Amino acid sequence: MNDIFEAHDWDAAGRIGRLSVPRAGVTVETPTIMPVVNPHIQTIPPRELAERFGAQILITNSYILHGSDDLREDALEKGLHDLLDFPGAIMTDSGSFQLSEYGEIDVTSAEILDFQREIGSDIATPVDIPTAPDTEREAVEIELGTTQERLDAAAEFSSGKMLVSAPVQGSTYTDLRESAGEHAAETGLDVFPVGAVVPLMNDYRYGEMIDVVMAAKRGLGPAAPVHLFGAGHPMMFALAVAAGCDLFDSAAYAIYARDGRYLTVRGTEHLEELEYFPCSCPVCAEHTPAGVEASDERERLLSEHNLYVTFAEIRRIKAAIREGNLLELVETRARGHPAMLDGYRALLAHSEQLERTDPASKSTFFYLSGESARRPEVLRHHRRLERLSVPDSLLLADGSVDGIEADEVWTVRPPFGPVPPELSETYPVNAELPDRLDGEAYALAARGVARLAEANPDCEVTLVAGWPEVALAALPEHTNCILIS
């Protein structure tokens, strides 16, 4: 696993990585989107996906190829790359989607893996069982057991150049997702899709989706390349990347175009309701909504726009990781939809997990809302407070103070709390803050004061702060902490 994937830039749990795909002889930079290509219907030819849009990897369905009288022999004779005419890496799905939709398929996991090997798939997938959200736990455990048996058996297919994925199932039970991640990692397989999350995304249950992903990540460990199955809407990429997902796939760009739907990073618009295009991609720069609506090429033009906006968001996310402001981008996207805000809040509930891979220093911390107070940087600073050396008496003040004696004077800055002089110009306490802070920032600062006082019971701590009463009330009573508001 570590031999094929290397991460070299981090922000929260997001990273820029390199996935080596030996059979294709290419290295794929992640995070990235794998456009889904239907072998029967290609609105945009695969080679064009590579040459015009920069796709380094795509995904197609080996089960459809296997069951097609027209394409099966061609795939076996020519190989998948020649059949699709694609120069990058090709991942193949196994028919698990059809299994979840129709209840049965007519091949075994071993048969479809062997077929994927024969047609030249670069990353193959066994037949796992995608258990729907909210399924009874007993049924989930049974189906998860079957999936894990198939993953164990799939290990023999990854002995050559072909990579094999190990889907992580478990429905909405986070403990099962975590244990499934541990089992998948132990198989020695190569790429780790988090499966059966499409129903959560379709129902805008982004908070639960994040809980599922974070649980799977705990089991897999930080070194595993993670694929979020069926995730293709650009509005949620930044959130999923910050949670540690590296690969995305979806036919959304084509399916939405077929229905006259226009993707944006804030959601989906219906073409017929648009008077202006809020985008400057080649399609939007050269056409009007009315012109595209009336065109015989409507589906293709919309597909092209949807791909442009999709790949642009991937590039934007990579830039944010390099610049150290991925969480600011996530927060911007979260403000576009209430369900996305649920997802962001769920992500920050896992700040302790995020903090393990979040860099200790990066670009300026921008405080944008109460959610910003729960970022991993604040958690890290609070932990640092317990290790700082303090004098016998300490004055904490959010402004200039006269007439109070103390051995040392530290600033106190929401949401971080106490800041010694030697750290005042360092990341993250040199954050850009609005003049009108919310109660959450003050409450977290008060928690920082309490943490410092608890760690140093022999130090007399005096706090001088004109904070809201609700924040001051959150400060526990300490015999060594004097409050002057």
Does the structure show a pLDDT above 80 at 97? no
Does the structure show a pLDDT above 60 at 391? yes
Q: Which among 428, 456, 459, 458 is positioned nearest to 444, based on CA atoms? A: 428
| Bond from prior residue into 31 cis (ω within 30 degrees of 0) | yes
**Residue 207 domain-assigned?**
yes
pLDDT at 1: 46
Residues contacting residue 358 through CB under 8 Å, at least 6 positions apart: 10, 11, 12, 13, 376, 377, 380
pLDDT at 479: 43
Domain shared by 200 and 274, yes or no: yes
pLDDT at 22: 96
**Residue 364 domain-assigned?**
no
Domain shared by 206 and 66, yes or no: yes
Residues contacting residue 426 through CB under 8 Å, at least 6 positions apart: 361
Query: Among the listed ranges 69-78, 103-112, 255-264, which one has the minimum average pLDDT value?
Result: 103-112
Domain shared by 233 and 344, yes or no: yes
For the stretch 276-287, pLDDT in tens is 999 999 999 999
CA atoms within 13 A on the CB side of 310: 31
Q: Cα-flanking dihedrals φ and ψ of residue 258, to 5°?
A: -60, -35
Strands (E), 330-416: 393-397, 408-413
- Show binding-site residues: 128, 196, 279, 281, 284
Domain boundary pick from 354, 381, 412: 354
pLDDT at 470: 77
Residue 51 near residue 86, CB atoms below 8 Å: no
pLDDT at 284: 98
**Residue 208 domain-assigned?**
yes
**Residue 359 domain-assigned?**
no
**Residue 195 domain-assigned?**
yes
Classified as helix, coil or strand, 32 is strand
- Structural domain of residue 17, as residue ranges? 5-354
Percent of the chain with pLDDT over 90: 84
For the stretch 355-365, pLDDT in tens is 999 999 998 99
**Residue 363 domain-assigned?**
no
Q: How confident is the model at residue 159 (pLDDT cuts 50, 70, 90)?
A: confident
Q: How confident is the model at residue 402 (pLDDT cuts 50, 70, 90)?
A: confident
93 classed as catalytic = yes
Higher pLDDT, 54 or 469: 54
For the stretch 220-241, pLDDT in tens is 999 999 999 999 899 999 999 9
Domain shared by 350 and 374, yes or no: no
Domain shared by 124 and 263, yes or no: yes
Q: What is the mean pLDDT of the chain?
A: 93
Q: How confident is the model at residue 404 (pLDDT cuts 50, 70, 90)?
A: confident
**Residue 99 domain-assigned?**
yes
Provide the whole-model pTM: 0.94
**Residue 362 domain-assigned?**
no
For the stretch 285-308, pLDDT in tens is 999 999 999 999 999 999 999 999
Rg for the chain (alpha carbons), in Å?
A: 26
How far is 396 from 400, CA to CA, in rounded Å?
Answer: 10
Phi-psi region of 226 (alpha: psi -120 to 50; beta: other; left: phi over 0): beta
Domain shared by 348 and 407, yes or no: no
Percent of the chain with pLDDT over 70: 96
pLDDT at 478: 57
Q: How confident is the model at residue 343 (pLDDT cuts 50, 70, 90)?
A: very high
Strands (E), 277-428: 393-397, 408-413, 417-419
Does the structure show a pLDDT above 70 at 247? yes
CA distances in angstroms from 92 to 71, 108, 120, 126, 227, listed in the order given: 15, 15, 10, 10, 13
Does the structure show a pLDDT above 60 at 2? no
Domain shared by 323 and 391, yes or no: no
pLDDT at 158: 86
How far is 342 from 325, CA to CA, in rounded Å?
Answer: 20
pLDDT at 485: 52
Domain boundary pick from 327, 354, 381: 354
Residue 230 near residue 249, CB atoms below 8 Å: yes
Domain boundary pick from 354, 384, 405: 354
Domain shared by 74 and 118, yes or no: yes
Domain shared by 339 and 392, yes or no: no
Q: How confident is the model at residue 482 (pLDDT cuts 50, 70, 90)?
A: low
Residue 8 near residue 17, CB atoms below 8 Å: yes
Domain shared by 299 and 393, yes or no: no
Domain shared by 392 and 317, yes or no: no
Q: Looking at 11, 93, 211, 342, which residue is catalytic?
A: 93
Residues contacting residue 249 through CB under 8 Å, at least 6 positions apart: 33, 34, 35, 36, 59, 91, 227, 229, 230, 231, 232
pLDDT at 163: 97
Higher pLDDT, 68 or 474: 68
Read off the pLDDT of each residue in 109-135 and give the average, rounded to a whole number.
96
- Show binding-site residues for substrate: 128, 196
Read off the pLDDT of each residue in 328-342 and give the average, rounded to a whole number.
96
How far is 15 from 6, CA to CA, in rounded Å?
Answer: 10
Written as six digits, the tokens of 112 are: 């479809």
CATH of the domain at 120: 3.20.20.105
Domain shared by 350 and 403, yes or no: no
Number of domains in the chain: 2
CA distances in angstroms from 419 to 182, 408, 429, 449, 452, listed in the order given: 39, 12, 7, 10, 10
pLDDT at 406: 85
